[in-house]
Chain A
Amino acid sequence: MILAVASGKGGTGKTTVAASLALSWPGPVTAVDLDVEEPNLHLLLHPQTTGGQTAYMEVPQARQERCTACGACAELCQYKAVSLLGEVLLTFPEMCHGCGGCLAVCPAEALTPGQREMGQVLWGRAGELAVYQGRLRVGEAMSPPLMRRVMAKVQADGAAAAGDVIIDAPPGVSCPAVTAASQAQAILLVTEPTPFGLYDFRLAWQAFAPLERPLAAVINRAGVGDRKAYAFCADHGIPILAEIPYDRTVAEAYSRGVPACRASAELAGLFRRLAQDCQALVGGREAAHA
């Protein structure tokens, strides 16, 4: 199964939960960092990178000598990436979303495929664990196309067939987070019991519930803030699979690149149980539907 570890609010412990789950997983597993804007999973898993490729988006290039100034490309483009200034054909590759519409609609082949670098897809191993990540080029605005490219590589390598896949999703609840969550069969939301945590957790639930995937929660830094996150989970039937108590030594370990599951024997046990409960998320649902 593919499990996405997500959160509304940033900094709730998503990456340390994803890394700890991958290290505690009972069986073959692949860890995938889809937080391509700020990929951090490798800082906890310390993989040896064994390969990588640059990912490009197809963008139009103008061939002025062929242009008949019909304007069909500029009319179709929704992103102002192609325009006609009088009879001069202009392209703005940074604005392009790579839909291919202008290339298909031009009757004169005056637009030809070019490339814009989106970032890197990297892969490697940390012991038994296969690790993938996307790294968005600094200055690139769009992350979902690179995220899809990372998942395509994971699928092409047969990771989902060989075992389970854990995705570290980007924070937030807009298109990048939904792109990551929609790749998964189950979603684990990590929150903290604070007003900011709860507000963003509610948004995340609103964003991900329509995907109709089994959804469960982990409460990190339990003991700080208030109890409202617990009430929200109870009211909306969201199972809380684990509570990670607030502990300064965990935060200090994290600062050095040590994931929570390696911070204490108690937490090692907590993540082993959490991994089993996460595996049961998909199985349980299938059984319930049978």
Chain B
Amino acid sequence: MPEVLVISGKGGTGKTSLTGAFAHLAQSKVICDLDVDAPDLHLLLRPRPRRTEEFYSGNLAVIAPERCTGCGECQARCRYGAVREKDGVYSIAPLGCEGCKVCVHFCPAQAIDFPVRHCGQWQVSDTRLGTLVHAQLFPGQENSGRLVALLRQQARELARAQGAELILSDGPPGIGCPVISSLSGTDLAVVVTEPTLSGIHDLERVAELCRHFRVPAAVIVNRYDLNLEHSQAIGRWCADNGLGLPARLPHDPAFTEAMVRQQTITEYKQSPLTDEIRRAWSQITSLAGLPKAA
């Protein structure tokens, strides 16, 4: 069953608003929010949690002061600058700790504990548009790549059990760990960009990442009317690089109005914009190898 991932490189291009619209238009699907760091899709879908699980990943080094002799070996070994010393008392900044265990291993007094790190929560929820798999990493945590992989695994199992035709995912911004984890092995990446210098720059990098992981990509230019010259340049660039361009969408305050009403744009109102989004979705389904909607 195909997996379609909506990403952007640059944040704030309209990725989540479009994923919401596609979730409304897709027939039989499991919806997945892979932006576990700053997830927003639930604000449109108003999920009712069916299942909530804690997410633990990696470990955290914690100095036990009663066993610490203050030798400083941990500070000398730590490559992340996470060990602090104040008046001869050593401690480890949790946000700086990479969980590598080096200080734990080399501490001559065995004074460093290594508890499992509680990083967040994930949920399977019912929504009016179908099942949503989503999560919230606790602020400041790492390992979001592992949480992304876990959500994708859950979404696949649910999709199989429900006989869904599609997994539709909202991806994180950027090109780092969580994006790589979202992208690898997915069937189609839909890259939402805007005709700004930043949008073009970030599109090129995220498209290179898609090539690197051999994931086919298609591009949607949002707010194309902000700069027609750049929009045309993106169109030419897509043609030269063999990327599909399912839609160019105008800037429209209706996106924000729908968001304030906790609706997807296609639920909110019918307009030339939503007609264009419907056409885009129809092209995306054929690019992803899905059967045509009736």
Report the interface size for chain B: residues with CB under 8 A from the other chain. Answer: 65
B196 touches A99 (CB 8 A): no
Segment of A82-90, A159-167, A168-176, A278-286 in the binding face: A168-176
Cα distance, A119 to B140, chains bound together (Å): 23
A10 touches B176 (CB 8 A): no
Cα distance, A140 to B81, chains bound together (Å): 22
B212 touches A138 (CB 8 A): yes
CB-CB < 8 A to B48: which residues of A?
none
- Is the CB of A233 closer than 8 A to any CB of chain B? no
With A101-B102, A141-B145, A172-B173 given, is the CB distance from A78 to B59 under 8 Å? Answer: yes
Closest to B38 in A: A200
- Is the CB of A11 closer than 8 A to any CB of chain B? yes
- Is the CB of B106 closer than 8 A to any CB of chain A? yes
CB-CB < 8 A to A207: which residues of B?
139-140
A100 touches B174 (CB 8 A): no
A37 touches B98 (CB 8 A): no
Cα distance, A173 to B226, chains bound together (Å): 29
B144 touches A195 (CB 8 A): no
What 1/0 flags go to A36-65 for Cβ under 8 Å of B? 011010011000000000000000000000
- Is the CB of B205 closer than 8 A to any CB of chain A? yes
Closest to B9 in A: A38
Segment of B157-165, B254-262, B270-278 in the binding face: B254-262
CB-CB < 8 A to A11: which residues of B?
10-13, 173
CB-CB < 8 A to A199: which residues of B?
38, 40, 43
B10 touches A40 (CB 8 A): yes
Q: Which of A217-231 contact B (CB under 8 A)?
A: 224-226
A43 touches B95 (CB 8 A): no
Cα distance, A171 to B9, chains bound together (Å): 11
With A38-B205, A136-B175, A195-B260 given, is the CB distance from A256 to B197 under 8 Å? Answer: yes
CB-CB < 8 A to B178: which residues of A?
174
Q: Which of B11-29 contact A (CB under 8 A)?
A: 11-13, 16
Cα distance, A132 to B199, chains bound together (Å): 20
CB-CB < 8 A to A171: which residues of B?
11, 38, 173-174
Q: Which of A120-158 contact B (CB under 8 A)?
A: 136, 138-143, 148
Cα distance, A121 to B98, chains bound together (Å): 22
Cα distance, A12 to B174, chains bound together (Å): 15
- Is the CB of A232 closer than 8 A to any CB of chain B? no
B259 touches A195 (CB 8 A): yes
Q: How far is the CB of B197 from chain A (nearest CB, A)?
A: 4
What 1/0 flags go to A167-206 for Cβ under 8 Å of B? 0001111111010001000000000001110011001101
CB-CB < 8 A to A203: which residues of B?
38, 139
Q: How far is the CB of A241 from chain B (nearest CB, A)?
A: 21
With A43-B197, A207-B139, A252-B226 given, is the CB distance from A173 to B102 under 8 Å? Answer: no
- Is the CB of B33 closer than 8 A to any CB of chain A? no
Q: Which of A5-22 contact B (CB under 8 A)?
A: 8-12, 15
CB-CB < 8 A to A136: which residues of B?
175-176
B40 touches A196 (CB 8 A): yes
- Is the CB of A255 closer than 8 A to any CB of chain B? yes
A175 touches B260 (CB 8 A): no
Q: How far is the CB of B61 from chain A (nearest CB, A)?
A: 11
Cα distance, A13 to B48, chains bound together (Å): 32
Checking A8, A40, A76, A79 against B38 with a beta-carbon cut-off of 8 angstroms, the contacting residue is: A8
A252 touches B100 (CB 8 A): no
B173 touches A206 (CB 8 A): no
Q: List 14 A-B contacts (CB under 8 A).
A: A10-B11, A38-B10, A138-B175, A139-B209, A171-B11, A174-B37, A194-B260, A195-B43, A195-B262, A196-B16, A200-B38, A207-B140, A224-B256, A255-B227
Given contacts A8-B38, A10-B12, A40-B202, 12 further A-B contacts (CB under 8 A): A10-B173, A11-B13, A99-B79, A136-B175, A139-B180, A143-B176, A171-B173, A200-B38, A203-B139, A207-B140, A252-B226, A256-B197
A-side residues, CB < 8 A to B, are 8-12, 15, 37-38, 40, 43-44, 76, 78-79, 97-101, 104-105, 136, 138-143, 148, 170-176, 178, 182, 194-196, 199-200, 203-204, 206-207, 210-211, 224-226, 248, 251-252, 254-257
B-side residues, CB < 8 A to A, are 8-13, 16, 37-38, 40, 43, 58-59, 77, 79-81, 95-96, 98-102, 105-106, 137, 139-142, 144-145, 172-180, 194-199, 201-202, 205-206, 208-209, 212, 223, 226-227, 230, 251, 253, 256, 259-260, 262
